[in-house]
Amino acid sequence: MPSLVVLRIDNMPAGNSTRAWQPEMVDELEKRWSRTLSWEEYSPLCERMTELRTQLRRERGVKGPRMFCRHCNEVHEMELGPVTIRSVLFALKKRGLLTEAELNAMDVEWRRYRSKHRLDGGGRRRVEQIAAANSHSPSSLESRDEN
């Protein structure tokens, strides 16, 4: 039944960051993460996670979600946006490394720090992103649940 297929694609939580995390990424995160990390130190961690995710998805032939593209005005497969600091925090909570209360406190702290320093979801200054942002990926699939 084609209608069911369409419904399923439309309802697909493409931006659901936890779905985009492969178990190996969380293992790697657990090895590299510590409670004493500064927000600056989360940026290379995010970049490493994005790199690892790209590698694992390629190895496994995982396709990106099909979404409406504002550049082409049509639906096609999208690359996932880079792993965000917020997504890292939720992954840490899921692994049991942060409690619910710690996650909430860090989430608030990160949001304040981010807006104060005008950073993107990965903790980099927005101006540095402009050159890299000229791609076919949506602004950031992973930050759809943010703000």
- Which spans of this chain sit near Zn ion (rule: CB under 5 A)? 69, 71-72, 136
C-beta of 136: minimal distance to Zn ion in Å? 4
Query: d(Cα 117, Cα 87) in Å, to the nearest integer?
Result: 19
Q: How many CA atoms lie within 13 A of 58 on its CB side?
A: 6
Q: Minimum distance from CB of 15 to Zn ion (Å)?
A: 17
Q: How far is the CB of 64 from Zn ion (least distance, A)?
A: 11
Which residue's CB is nearer to Zn ion, number 69 or number 97?
Answer: 69
The residue (of 82 and 123) whose beta carbon lies closer to Zn ion is 82
74 vs 100 by CB, closer to Zn ion: 74
Nearer to Zn ion, 72 or 130 (CB): 72
Q: Write down the least CB distance from residue 114 to Zn ion, Å.
A: 28
Nearer to Zn ion, 56 or 69 (CB): 69
Phi-psi domain of 126 (left: phi exceeds 0; alpha: psi -120 through 50; beta: other)? alpha
Which of these, 105, 92, 102, lies nearest to 42 by C-alpha position? Answer: 92
> Concatenated DSSP letters for 46-115?
HHHHHHHHHHHHHHHTPPPPEEEETTTTEEEE-PPPPPPHHHHHHHHHHTTSS-HHHHHHHHHHHHHHHH
Least gap, CB of 70 to Zn ion (angstroms): 8
Q: Residue 42, Cβ neighbours under 10 Å: how many?
A: 20
